[in-house]
A and B are shown apart, each in its own frame.
Chain A
Amino acid sequence: MEKEKQPLLKINNLKTTFSTYKGELSAVDGVSLELNEGEILGIVGESGCGKSVTAESILQLLDENTTTYDGEIIFNGKNLLKSSNRELEEIRGNEISMIFQDPMSSLNPVITIGKQIAESVRIHQKLSKKESMKKAVELLRLTGIPSPEQRVKEYPHEISGGMRQRVMIAMALSCQPKLLIADEPTTALDVTIQEQILKLMLQFQKELNMGIVLITHDFGVVANYCTKVAVMYLGQVIEETDVKSLFSRPLHPYTVGLINSVPQLDGDRSKELATIKGVVPSLTQIPKGCRFAPRCPLATEKCLEEMPNLESAKENHQVRCWHYEKVLEGELQYVN
């Protein structure tokens, strides 16, 4: 992968903390990521690992009364965490757009979809009502919705989940953003529709040379649609590399365990599925050393005491583990 002059998005040591009655919870703890134009970065992990919070921190969409951000989020040379609300307003929807998991709750149920798309067009592009409605029809057509002139008059409940997600994509792309953040965009959809939606996103990504941050829990989606990937566990990135390296040889015991436990469409199905012992601890009880140590098959004394850093194990392959060499030597079985 050739390096470009300056990354589109660079997250440096991001810490997102919620203050709750249980005390300070650090949902994202020191995440650093980089994304160039035209790249698709997958962030994977199980529920509660902080992948969505990372995404929402980029646009600072979390409740400002209870959330504090620390670190740097540099987009196009500008630190978003230092930007004023007005500057952020300008960036949100214009240069960075976001698609959420549940299209039904992201759309207003009492306004027709045409008006909703037109509204976002009007706000960002300063067009007249009539022009923006025309643009809405055009956008719907681009996302592959049949007879868009009729559809703009319909309400969100009148169209299917897949169509709603197409509407969200139409809105998100109305201003031709440089960066699209998609938070589990197809988790609520059926597989046949999921394929259609992801292909649509990919098509626009190529046309606009956008960068995409794709949050997902599905390794299959990562393998087929992303260029690079970060695996998160309990608020930290524990492994980061390009997609090929990750699936050919994951180095963190958590990644190995996670991929092993995914049921596959081929291979021996009579074998027991691999599991990871225990459960993800709560944010109030974060382990002292390596956060994965209590569940890790390779854990030693050192792991329980000292937290490993995210280090380069190979070229373009970072891992946060004291014992990744053992994984490299094949001490953990990787079924793929």
Chain B
Amino acid sequence: MSTSTMKSVGQPLLEVRNLKKHYAVRNSLGKTTGYVRAINDISFTIYEGETYGLVGESGCGKSTTGRTLLRLVEPTSGEAQFNGNNIFDLNRKELRGIRKDLQMIFQDPHTSLDPKRKVGYSIEESLIINGVKSKEERKRLVTEMLVKLGFNENDYNRFPHEFSGGQRQRIGIARSLILNPKLIICDEPVSALDVSIQAQIINLLKDLQKQLTLSYLFISHDLSVVRHIADRIGVMYLGNLVEQGTTEEIFSNPLHPYTKGLLSAVPVINESSEREKIEITGEIPSPINPPSGCVFRTRCPFAFERCSQESPAEIHVGEHRSVKCHLYDHK
């Protein structure tokens, strides 16, 4: 497999191993009657300076994955090595230390900023929490950051409602960058924006990555957006990471039937007849009662007997390439 188009990547920055998040379902008496398997044993690695895209439809667990990495949601089991620490073992104080390097950008720029605070303060707050004592120093850092992201200095004193959606998203980015993080978890950062603004934000994120050697975990449902920003991609379905590969590989040669179906469902402007069309029927099953065996089998046009009996293991088919599907298991 060709990996020549990838950026020269550095050391592993974040290694997620066997991450699980199960929510208990309780009846009216408080007795646990089952589990929602929001994340079911996923493993992936993010290298320094790269963008790892996590794609999938609603309810596949992609946002939960991002949130567990910041411990905004407590994982059920697994580990996440970051900077030599397992994020999931840290206590509150240690977590605070690590969050300097691990920041997040949220989807909705209208609700992720405090409407009653000046935007400058919203950005400055992380500096206060992380012990930058001097007021002048903080103000200098914040104005520098604002200018860097295309605002002027006076915008420090304005309120969120005075900005458009795209500008607010840039403020969200400024806030996540102020502590010089190494990894930013971007949870659908452009989904709420119009296309012309979306393009501005994607270009900005790419520029910043080059300047500051940032890594991104880019969570999105929009395949064409992910294609433009990610170096490698993981495709999630019902809590499982069903396929991983470089962006090139995923788009030119998708392996998993779900990835193929997802790609062919995207309406494109120039429909070429060469595009392989695989129609996915039906709807996502409930994660409380996932299908036996392979979770995708109920919608898969290629499902055969084995798919309902055993759940497919992760099959490595290349350096950064893996797929969870019995079709590729030639044992």
Contact = CB atoms under 8 A, between A and B. Distances in A.
B266 A273 contact: no
A6 interface: no
B266 A191 contact: yes
B262 A191 contact: yes
B179 interface: no
Contacts of B108: none
A263 B283 contact: no
Contact of A264 (B202, B269, B279): B269
B279 A163 contact: no
A312 to B, nearest CB: 24
A275 B262 contact: no
B58 A221 contact: no
Contacts of A163: 283
Interface stretch (B86-94, B115-123, B141-149, B192-200): B192-200
A220 B268 contact: yes
B225 to A, nearest CB: 5
Contacts of A261: 195-196, 198-199
Interface string A197-219: 01000000000000000000111
Given A162-B283, A195-B279, A273 B199 contact: yes
A329 interface: no
Nearest to A159: B283
A221 B266 CA distance: 9
A160 B59 CA distance: 11
Contacts of A262: 195, 224, 269
Contacts of B58: 161, 190
Interface string A309-336: 0000000000000000000000000001
A247 B195 CA distance: 17
A103 interface: no
B269 A259 contact: yes
A259 B280 CA distance: 27
B57 interface: yes
Interface in A117-165: 160-163
Interface of B: 5, 57-58, 164, 166-167, 194-200, 202-203, 206, 221-225, 227-228, 247, 251, 261-263, 265-272, 279-281, 283-284
